[in-house]
Amino acid sequence: MKKRRFWLLGPILALWLALVLAACGDNTATSPITTAVTTTRSATTAVATTANATTTTAPATTATATTAAPTTASATTVAPTTAAVSSSTSAATTAAVTTSSAATTAATGATTAATGGSTATTYPLTLTDDNKRSVTLAKAPARIVSLAPSNTELLFALGLGDRVVGVDNYSNYPAEAAKKEKIGGYSDTNIEKVVSLSPDLVLAAGITSKELLDSLTSRKLTVLVLNPADLAGVAGNMKLLGQVAGVPDKGQTAAADFQKRLETIAAKVKDAKAKPRVFYELDPTLFTVGPGSFIDDMIVKAGGQNIVTDASNPYPQLNQEAVVSKDPEVILLGDDSGGVDTPEKILTRAGWSNISAVKNKRIYPLNADLVNRPGPRAADGVEAIAKALYPDFFK
Amino acid sequence: MTTSKDGEAFLEIRNLQAGYGSRRVLHDLSLSVAPGEMLGVIGPNGCGKSTLVKAVSGVLKPQGGEVFFEGRNLLRLKPHERARLLAVVVQNPSLPSAFTAAELVLLGRTPHLGAFQQEGPHDWQIVQEAMEASDCWEMANRPVGELSGGERQRVLFALALAQQPRFLLLDEPTTFLDINYQVEVMDIAADWLRAAPGRGAIAVLHDLNLAAQYCQRLALLSAGRVLAIGRPQEVITAENIRQAYGAQVLVTPHPVNQLPTTFILPGHTPKIPR
Amino acid sequence: MLKINNPNPKSDRATLSHPQPAASSRYAARRLQSAALFSTQRRRWSLIVLSIAGLVVVLIGCVSFGAVPVSLDATFKIIWNHTVGLLWRLPADYTSSQDTIIWQIRLPRLVLASCVGAALAGAGALYQGLFRNPLADPYLVGVAQGAAVGAVTLIVVPLPAFLLFTGAVQLGAFAGAVLTVAIVYNLARVGGEVRNTTLLLAGVAIGSLGAAITTLLTYLHNDKLATIYGWLLGGFNTSGGWDNVGLIAPYLVVGFVMVIPFGRRLNALQMGEEQAAQLGLNVRVVKLVMVVAATLMAAAAVSVSGIIGFVGLVVPHLVRMLTGQDYRLLVPLSILWGAVFMVLTDSVARTILAPAELPVSIITAFVGGPFFIYILRRKKKVQGME
C-alpha cells in the first residue's frame, strides 16, 4: 500500500518537471534561479519574492499576450506585430536577474511602430504597445507619469517634459526630470502616489512588473508599455510616443535623428579590417549579454562582435574558461559606478593574463545610464562602445 | 553528620552545598565512605540524591564544601583526572543507537587517552574485561539501540568499569529493571567492590530492600540533609521511613540474613498508628 | 516465599581482576575476539585512505572535463610541468591558452571546490554531533546570514579606494560570519553555560535579523541586485586562481586540526552532556572549540564560494548511513566525501550548459536531495526503523 502511494509521486514529479522545463524554454534564467532560491537556505526574502513573482507571472502573461487584437486608429495604422513572444515574462525575469539594465527583453524583434503620416493625431486613439496590449486614449495626454528613466528621457527628448507630472526614483536625466515628483523605484512603486497625481497616461517599461501593471490598470489608469527589444525599437517608440502625445512630427524627427546618429557611427567604423571580439561583463560572476538582448544589439551596431553567440538566454552566466578561450580583444564593463570590478582588478585576475584585452589593457567601464536605458541616449551608449572598440576612428 | 566509625576516610564529603540557581538542594551535607564499602543513599524523591551524584561527579558545580578522595580534593581536579578516579553509572542516558556495545564501552577509555592518542589493543583488552565483568561481552557487536533495558544497564556498567575507576557512583542503576536484572546489576557492583582492595562506591537507590541487602551502610536523606546514617538495621526503621517518606511501612528482619526488609501497608495513611 | 538467592556466590561470572579458573579457556577464546575487534576497528581506518585515493581519482578525472576541451594527455603534462616538472620537464606540446585554462582556472577551481565541500561537510558533521540533531547544518548558528550581511554590505556601500582590494567582499563575508556566530554564542551563554537549545534559538533569531538586514540592503540598493544575487547564489566560477585557495586554506587547516582529535569527544557527547562530563570531558571547552572550528571552516567556505546548500547536511548523513556513528571516522570521512561531492557537482555545473554556467547550488540540491531520499528509504527497509 505504502509503495503504491509512493509511486503516485511519479506523475506529480513529471508534471512539475514539465512545468519547470517549459519555464526554462521560455527563459532559462527564470527557473534555475527560482529553484536556487528555494534550495539555498538563506536567500533573502526580497530576492525570493521577486523570483516567486516571476514564476507566477509566466502563465498569466501568456494569457494576456494572446488578447492582443488587430486594432486601428482613425488616422494611423498600427503596424502588425510579428513575433508572439511574451515579453512581460522576460521583463519580470529581468527584474530578478539584472535590474541595472533597465530595458531588456527576450522578444526577438517585436517592434510596434506607428508608421502613419505626419498629420496630427485624432482621438480617441487605439494602439498596441510593446507588451501587445491594446491601449486606448480618449484625448491627448496632459499629465504623464513615467515609471522608468528611459521613458522619462524619451518624453523630454520629444519636448513633452512639461506634461510629466511624476517620475521614478532613478530618473536623473535631463536635470529637470530629477525635480519632478517621485513615485518610487521599480519594485517599490508607490501606487497611491501615482493615483494621486491623476495621470492620464502612465508610461511603463520592461522593468515594470506584471503585478504593478495589473494594479495600475485596475485603477482605470491608461498604461502604455515601452519595451523596445533593440535600437530600432527605440526609434519606433519615439514615433509611437509622438503619435500618442499628439506631436507626431516631433516623434518622426527624433526617430530620424536617432537613426542618423547610429548611421554616422556605423559609417565611422565601417572601414575597420576586423570586428573586435567583445566580452561585456555585467558583474564579477561573469553574467553577460547574449543575442536577443538590447546591449548585444548595441555592440553589433557599434561594430563589435559579441563573444557570446549561442547562449540559451539573453543574459547567460559565462564559464571562465570560455571567456579565456574566446580571447576577447575588448572587455566592456556594464557599470562604472562601483560595486563591480574595476579594470585594474580585472588586469590582476588569475588566468586572464593571456586574454588580448588584458594584455593590451583594453578594458572600458561604461556609463550604466547610457547602456542600460533603451531611450534616446542609447545612441550615446553605442557611440561610447564604438569609441572603446575603435579609439582611432574617433580622434 | 559524623564521619565513619573508624575515622579512616576514603571518600569524604564535607559540608557539601549544591543546588540550581537560588534553589539550594543540599544543605551542608557530610558523608564518608570507607575502603571496600558500598554506601547506600536513600530518601524520597527530591531529597537531593541525584544532586549529590551530580555535585560529586563534577557535573554540577557545588556552591560550597569539599569532596576528598584519599586526601585529594576531587572538585579541584581536572575533569579527566577526576574521571580516572571516579566513574558514574547514570540512570537513563540517551545512547547513540548506532554505536555497538563495544564502541560505547570504549568511550570509558576517554579520560585515559590524550587528545591525539588512538586507543590500542590494551584499551580493547580493558573493554573486554569490563564487559566480561558486567556480563555483556556477548553483545559486543550489537548496536546499542537494539539492546533491552537490562542489557543496556550492564553495558553502561561496563562503560563505567572501563574507566578503571577507584570509586563508583551508582545513580539508581536498577530503575526500570525487572528483579532478575536488579539483582544482577547489584551483584556486578558488589563483585567489582570485592575484586580489588582500595575500592568504594556510593549507590543511590530507591528500593529500600535492595539497599539493605547490598550496602554495608546507608544514609537516609531528607530535604537535603542526612536524617540517619549507619548500618541498615539502624537506618531502616519504620520510624525513620515515616519521618523521611511520610509513609507507613512494616520493617522486619530478612528471613535468611536478618537484614531489615520493608513491607508496604496498602491502605494505611501516616495518621494511623502502627 | 522464602526462596531468595544468596547474593554472594556467582560462580559463573568472572570479576574484573580475578577471572574464574574454570572459565579461563572460554575467555581465552574471547580474548582473541577483543584483538579481532581491535583489528576490525583499525581496518576501518583504511576507509580514510581509500577515500583520499578516491578524491585524487575524482580530481584527476574532473580536471580533464570542462567548457574548453583539453586532452587528458595535455592536462597531465600541464600539471606535471607545474609541479614535478620544476625538476624534470615534459615536452610542452600544448598551447599557452590550454596551460592557462588548466593550471590557472580549472585546477584551482576544482581544488577550491574540494576545500569548500570539505569544510562544509566537516562543519555539518561537527554541528550534527554537537547538537545531536540530524537537521543541523553548517549554517545553523548564523554563518550564512552573517556572511551575507558582510558581503552585501561591502557590495553596496561605496568604499574608499584603499578598501577596494581583491577579496574585500570575501573578507567582509568572513568577518560577518565569524562576528555573527560570536554574537549568537555570547547571547546563548547564560551564567557561563551554553545550552544547545538556547544556542539554536539565538542562531535562528540572529539569523533572521541578518536576513532582514540583507534584504534591507538589497532593497535600498537594487541597482546592485545582480551582484548581490550572484554572490548569494554561490559558486566557483570566478573564484580566481590559486589566490582564493591560499586565502581559505589556513582556516581549513586550523579547522581540520582542531576537529580531528575531537572525534572521540564527539562520541562521548552523543551520550549527553552530563554523561560526557562524567567521562572526564570539559564540555564547555569542547563545545567552544568545536563551534570555533566549525565556524572557521564554514565561514572560510562561504566567503569564497557564496552560500551553497545541502552539502553540509547530506554528506555527513550519507557517511553515517554507510559507516556508522563513530565520529572519529565520521568527521574525516565527511570532510573527504564533501570534497568529492563538491568537485563532482561543480563539474556538472560548469559543463552541463557550457559555455554558460549553472549555479552549483542547484546541482547540489538536485543531486543531493533525491540521493538522500533514496538512502533514507533503503535504510528504512534494511532496519525497519524510523
Residue of B29, B106, B21 whose CA lies nearest to B66: B29
Residue of A262, A266, A295, A294 whose CA lies nearest to A390: A266
Per the structure block, which three cell numbers stand in for B159? Answer: 562503560
- pLDDT tier at B209, thresholds 50, 70, 90: very high
Question: Which of A32, A36, A322 lies at the smallest CB-CB distance from C355?
Answer: A322
**pLDDT in the model for residue C142:** 86
Q: How far apart are CA C147 and CA C139, in angstroms?
A: 10
**pLDDT in the model for residue A332:** 94
Top residue of C3, C8, C12, C16 to mutate, by most chain B CBs within 10 Å, is: C16
**Is the CB of residue C37 less than 8 Å away from at least one CB of chain B?**
yes
Q: How far apart are CA A299 and CA A279, in angstroms?
A: 10
Most confident of B67-81, C82-96, C182-196: B67-81
Question: Which residues lie closer than 8 Å to B186 by C-beta, 6 or more apart?
Answer: B173, B174, B203, B210, B213, B214, C7
| 8 A C-beta contact, residue C127 and residue C136 | yes
Residue of C355, C235, C360 whose CA lies nearest to A321: C355
Question: Which residues lie closer than 8 Å to B197 by C-beta, 6 or more apart?
Answer: B35, B36
**pLDDT in the model for residue A226:** 94
CA distances C289 to C116, C185, C234, C326, Å, are 20, 12, 27, 19
User: Do A and B share at least 3 CB pairs under 8 Å?
Assistant: no
CB within 8 Å of chain C, chain A residues 82-101 = 96-100
Mean pLDDT for A26-51 is 36
Question: Which of C17, C27, C33 lies at the smallest CB-CB distance from B196?
Answer: C17
Q: How far apart are CA C230 and CA C212, in angstroms?
A: 18
**Using the beta-carbon criterion (under 8 Å), do C223 and A44 form an inter-chain contact?**
no
| Opening angle at CA C310, ends C309 and C312, nearest 5 | 95
**pLDDT in the model for residue C304:** 86
Q: Report chain A residues whose CB lies below 8 A from the CB of C145.
A: 42
Listed range (A338-342, B12-16, C78-82) with the worst mean pLDDT:
A338-342
**pLDDT in the model for residue C249:** 86
Per the structure block, which three cell numbers stand in for A362? Answer: 583594453
CA atoms within 13 A on the CB side of C317: 19
Residue B229 has pLDDT above 90, yes or no: yes
**pLDDT in the model for residue C241:** 74
Residue C7 has pLDDT above 50, yes or no: no
**Using the beta-carbon criterion (under 8 Å), do C16 and B195 form an inter-chain contact?**
yes
> Per-residue b/e over B163-199, b at no fewer than 16 CB within 10 Å?
bbbbbbbbbbbbeebeeebbbbbbbbbbbbbeeeeeb
**Using the beta-carbon criterion (under 8 Å), do C225 and A98 form an inter-chain contact?**
yes
Q: Report chain C residues whose CB lies below 8 A from the CB of A368.
A: 223
Contacts of A among chains (3+ CB pairs under 8 A): C
Q: How far apart are CA C16 and CA B189, in angstroms?
A: 11
Cα B185 to chain centroid distance, Å, stands at 11
Q: Report chain B residues whose CB lies below 8 A from the CB of C8.
A: 190
Top residue of B54, B56, B127, B129 to mutate, by most chain C CBs within 10 Å, is: B129
CB within 8 Å of chain B, chain C residues 148-177 = none
Residue of B84, B96, B27 whose CA lies nearest to B55: B27
Residue A240 has pLDDT above 70, yes or no: yes
Q: Report chain A residues whose CB lies below 8 A from the CB of C214.
A: 42, 44
Q: How many of the other CB atoms lie within 10 Å of CB of B253?
A: 11
Chains A, C: CB contacts under 8 A, how many? 189
Q: pLDDT of A200-224, one tens digit each?
A: 999 999 888 888 999 999 988 999 9
Q: pLDDT of C111-123, one tens digit each?
A: 999 999 999 999 9
**pLDDT in the model for residue A9:** 67
- pLDDT tier at B75, thresholds 50, 70, 90: confident
Q: How far apart are CA A392 and CA C58, in angstroms?
A: 50
**Using the beta-carbon criterion (under 8 Å), do C155 and A353 form an inter-chain contact?**
no
**Using the beta-carbon criterion (under 8 Å), do C264 and B140 form an inter-chain contact?**
no
Q: Report chain A residues whose CB lies below 8 A from the CB of C310.
A: 39
Q: Report chain B residues whose CB lies below 8 A from the CB of C257.
A: none
- pLDDT tier at A62, thresholds 50, 70, 90: very low
Residue C260 has pLDDT above 60, yes or no: yes
Mean pLDDT for B209-217 is 93
Q: How many of the other CB atoms lie within 10 Å of CB of B239?
A: 10
Question: Which residues lie closer than 8 Å to A276 by C-beta, 6 or more apart?
Answer: A303, A304, A305, A329, A330, A389, A390
The residue written with cell numbers 599557452 in the block is C96
Top residue of A321, A326, A352 to mutate, by most chain C CBs within 10 Å, is: A321
Residue A79 has pLDDT above 50, yes or no: no
Q: Report chain C residues whose CB lies below 8 A from the CB of A337.
A: 223
Mean pLDDT for C324-347 is 90
Question: Which residues lie closer than 8 Å to A189 by C-beta, 6 or more apart?
Answer: A147, A168, A183, A208, A212
| 8 A C-beta contact, residue A128 and residue A150 | no
Measured torsion, CA atoms of residues B113, B115, B118, B120, in degrees rounded to the nearest 10: -10
Residue A362 has pLDDT above 90, yes or no: yes
Q: pLDDT of B25-42, one tens digit each?
A: 898 899 999 999 999 999
Q: pLDDT of C296-322, one tens digit each?
A: 889 888 888 888 888 998 899 888 888
Q: pLDDT of A288-342, one tens digit each?
A: 999 999 999 999 999 999 999 887 788 888 888 889 889 999 999 987 766 567 8
> Which pTM does this prediction carry?
0.76
User: Do C and B share at least 3 CB pairs under 8 Å?
Assistant: yes
